[in-house]
Amino acid sequence: MQDKLRALVKLAVIDASARHIEELLEGIPVELEERRAAVDALETLVGGQKQQMDEATALLEAQVDDLKMRSDMLARSRAKGAKARNMREAEAAERELDAIRRSIRDGEAEKERLEGVIAKARETLEEPLAELEKQNAELAQAAAGVEERLEGLRKERDEITAGREEFVALVPKRFYRTYERIRPQIHPAVVEAKDGVCQGCRMAISPQLFNQIIRGDDFYRCQQCTRFLYHADVVAEPGEAKPHEAEAAEAAAGRQS
Ligand SMILES: [Zn+2]
């Protein structure tokens, strides 16, 4: 049983050292995703404005073609007027010319209006487009940096958690499952029971439970905070410890001598 308890304590030590890295590994991609979503939103906004501008540009092109056609009509109408054989034909030609001139004036006005719309849209878009370009470049740079950072963190995590499986194998399955379930919420999930007090929540442990923990004949958990509890003497390494190592271990575990 002591081996099993010791394995859980060691497992908790490993997980505590890797905890910060695990959090970064989870948090960094989320942060990048949020940033990407913000850039996407800006892109959609700018895209909508750009589409309006493109539509106005298409209308302008059609208007320019139309004006060219009307000016051809005007030339033909003039030629026809020059060939008028009598007053009636001359008047009819003049009316036709007037109508064409009017439609050209209207067309010119519409062309100016569209040019105004496009110029304004282009000016309005200038800043958001530049901002979008800047943000896209920054995002690409950040994404490249993040991948590199995550790679480094994964490597670091793997180094820290090397040998973890050995301890997992020693802890009875149902306690390991409980440990995995509580550890995301309660950190650290395995704490020392010292002088009858849970070192996690600082609450007094019932004397009966504390005695059981000292005996170390099973896995016990704090009645208040649900953390796993152990007594330092129970999980101490068996056999003769080398003096320096023993000192270091004692200091690390904060163990009473
Ligand atoms: Zn507690």
The answer, yes or no, to whether residue 256 has pLDDT greater than 90, is no
* pLDDT at residue number 257: 40
pLDDT band at 244 (very low <50, low <70, confident <90, very high): very low
Q: Quote the ligand 1 centre to 220 CA distance (angstroms).
A: 11
pTM (two decimals) = 0.61
- Give mean pLDDT, residues 85-108: 93
Q: Cα separations (Å) of 121 from 45, 116, 118, 128, 226?
A: 13, 8, 5, 11, 63
Cα dihedral 104, 110, 116, 121 in deg (nearest 10) = -140
Domains within the chain, CATH numbers bracketed: 18-160 (1.10.287.1490), 172-253 (no CATH)
**Cβ contacts of 125 within 8 Å, gap of 6 or more:** 46, 49, 50, 53
Query: Tokens 């590199």 correspond to what residue?
Result: 148
Structure tokens at 166: 């050995």
What distance in angstroms lies between residue 14's CA and the mean position of ligand 1's atoms?
20
Structure tokens at 250: 């004692």
pLDDT tens profile 179-191: 999 998 998 999 9
The rounded Å distance from CA 221 to ligand 1 centre is 8
Whether the CB-CB separation of 111 and 85 falls below 8 Å is answered with no
**197 CA → ligand 1 middle, Å:** 8
**188 prior amide bond cis, ω within 30:** yes
What are the tokens at 245? 């190592």
Distance 225 CA to ligand 1 centre (A): 4
Handedness of CA 17, 19, 25, 27 (dihedral sign): negative
pLDDT at 240 over 70: no
**In which element (H, E) is residue 221 found?**
strand 220-221
pLDDT per residue over 63-80, tens digit each?
A: 999 999 999 999 999 998
Buried b (16+ CB within 10 A) or exposed e, 142-177: beeeeeeeeeebeeebeebbeeeeebbebbeeebbe
pLDDT the model gives residue 255: 44
C-alpha 191 to ligand 1 mean position (Å): 8
For 134-168, how does the pLDDT look when each residue is reduced to its tens digit (9 = 90+)?
999 999 999 999 999 999 999 999 999 998 999 99
User: What spacing in Å lies between the alpha carbon of 230 and ligand 1's midpoint?
Assistant: 11
Question: Separation of 174 CA from ligand 1 center, angstroms?
Answer: 20
Say whether 187 sits in a helix, a strand or coil: coil
